[in-house]
Amino acid sequence: MLTEAEQSAAAQAVRDLIVGSGLSARHLRVVGPGLYGSDDVATNAIGEIAIELVEAPAVDLGNHVDATAHVLPDVNVIPTDRLMLNEKTYRVQTVKPHNLFSAVTHQQLDMIELN
């Protein structure tokens, strides 16, 4: 079991890696209903978030994912949100918190490229 200080140090190390990637994404939230199956929806800007991006995730034939990203644990990202970076727009499919001995160190986002 890790002490609170060790949990905090682990979370800070992951935070440093994410922020140290030097990438940030424009975070957009879908507002109102869209047409079923359409990604052409209205959004509101939430802000900029630090992100670590992997554009070539491990192949998983059962789950179509174009990219995965890691963000800080306090970022309020939900499925259907949009992230814009590197001149691409991604739709967040899933948000998975990552734990280290009960301390959430970061969140993994599975994303689909829309452009």
Give 16-26 pLDDT, tens digit per residue. 999 999 999 99
CATH number at residue 49: 2.40.10
Residue pLDDT, tens place only, 66-92:
899 999 999 999 999 999 998 999 999
Which domain covers residue 100, as residue numbers? 4-33+42-113
Query: Quick one: average pLDDT of 47-71?
Result: 83
The model's pTM is: 0.85
Contacts of 94 (CB under 8 A, 6+ apart): 79, 109, 110
Residue 36 has pLDDT above 60, yes or no: no
- Total domains in the fold of the chain: 1
